[in-house]
Amino acid sequence: MIRSGGVAFSRALPRILTPGYPLSWAVALVCALYFTAASASLLVWILTGNATVLSICFQEIGGPLLAVFAMIEAAAALRVWSLFNPGEPLRTGWFFLASAGSVHAVSVITRHLLGRNILLNPLRFLPSSSPLFPLLDDFGRVLGGTLLPLVLLAGIYFVLRVYRRLRLLTRLSPVDYLALAVAALFLAFEFSELLRWLPLRRGNITALWTMDWATDPLFILLFAAAIVLRRANLALRRGRLARCWTAYAAAIFLTCTGNLGVALVEGGFITQNQSWPFWLIWYPAAAGFTLAPIFQMETMHLALRSQAASPRF
């Protein structure tokens, strides 16, 4: 079912992605430590009003951390894709999921690293680099908000098609239907906001604004697909293979929740400072997207080890 050799790129991956390395534990631990530190910086800001610690934690440290997570995600997803032989059912799905990981990495790097005036940004030391920051931020936002959910949707669609063929998708539960109803309400809210904003913008509707608006509906569709994909966990009895899709579903849910916070601010329902609970969501969401292909990769590596250790006659 899986190929032991892999492509040349996968053999060139750093040691951190080799079989047996507890990469998933490292990602979860780093995310937990940062989440604790970020929560403490928020508490300091709330109690004292001093935003210096907040800026250091979320911009100087948080942005590069998101970039590292995204790069690990892309490398792990490419590794998983390389382990499937041509013609295997899940290879197409993982091609799109690996492509989504690469898009995500470029998006996060351009937006949270190269598009920010932070110490770790190499462009910061170039003369007249300040005008580049908003351009890179817009570019990363378009990639992460429009192209990323489209490619993810394609990958999940091909995975669902395989699981349906194998009869691994069970019927939706009442909780699933409730979650889909909430997603539908959120989608209706987005369209109502669109109808409210269109008369105000009149002829000032740009391609960037349209793609920005499309972000939330696309992630809502992703959320619905993730709910269906989650049903496969029941058939897989929440084993090792199920962890991958659970991580994807959790990451998509958290991203949709974070987008809700952005929509509430843009709609004028809350202020930017009042949206602080949503600031923390992006880091476990990033960890979820990173852990999903890592779980699949580690499971396939364990299978390869079992094949190598089994006696041959």
Please report the pLDDT score of residue 64 as a whole number.
94
Distance from C-alpha of 269 to C-alpha of 35, rounded to nearest angstrom: 26
pTM for this structure? 0.84
Dump pLDDT digits (tens) for 82-138.
999 898 989 999 999 999 999 999 999 999 999 998 998 888 888 877 888 888 988
By the 10 Å C-beta count (0-12 exposed, 13-18 middle, 19+ buried), 237 is classed as: exposed
Tokens of 93: 């799905």
Block residue for tokens 């951390």: 65
Dump pLDDT digits (tens) for 281-307.
999 999 999 999 999 988 888 877 766
> Residue 12 — pLDDT band, cuts 50, 70, 90?
very low
Please report the pLDDT score of residue 256 as a whole number.
85
By the 10 Å C-beta count (0-12 exposed, 13-18 middle, 19+ buried), 76 is classed as: buried
Range 53-80 average pLDDT = 94
- Count CB neighbours of 157 within 10 A: 14
Q: Where are the domains of the chain?
A: 8-309
Sequence-ordered list of residues with C-beta below 8 angstroms from that of 69, at least 6 positions apart, any chain: 27, 31, 108, 286, 287, 289, 290
Distance from C-alpha of 301 to C-alpha of 2, rounded to nearest angstrom: 9
Sequence-ordered list of residues with C-beta below 8 angstroms from that of 242, at least 6 positions apart, any chain: 232, 233, 236
Dump pLDDT digits (tens) for 189-240.
777 777 777 776 666 667 666 777 777 788 888 888 888 877 766 666 666 7
Residue pair 77/293 in contact (Cβ under 8 Å)? The answer is yes
Range 163-186 average pLDDT = 81
